[in-house]
Amino acid sequence: MVKALILRGPGTNCDMETVYAFKLAGAEVESVFIDTLLKNKAKLFESNILAIPGGFTYGDDL
Rounded Cα–Cα distance for residues 27 and 48 (Å): 10
Total domains in the chain come to 1
**pLDDT tens digits, 8-53:** 988 788 899 999 999 999 999 999 999 999 999 998 999 999 999 8
Domain assignment of residue 62, yes or no: no
Predicted local distance difference test score (pLDDT) of residue 13: 82
Q: Please, are residues 56 and 12 in contact by the beta-carbon 8 Å criterion?
A: no
Domain assignment of residue 47, yes or no: yes
pLDDT band at 61 (very low <50, low <70, confident <90, very high): low
Domain assignment of residue 61, yes or no: no
Domain assignment of residue 48, yes or no: yes
36 is in which domain, residue-wise? 3-55
Domain assignment of residue 12, yes or no: yes
Domain assignment of residue 43, yes or no: yes
Predicted local distance difference test score (pLDDT) of residue 22: 98
Q: b/e for 14-30, b at 16 or more Cβ within 10 A?
A: ebeebbeebeeeebebe
Q: List 8's β-bridge partners, or say none.
A: 33
Predicted local distance difference test score (pLDDT) of residue 58: 62
Tell me whether residue 60 is exposed, middle or buried, using C-beta atoms within 10 angstroms of its C-beta: 0 to 12, 13 to 18, 19 or more.
exposed
Domain assignment of residue 14, yes or no: yes
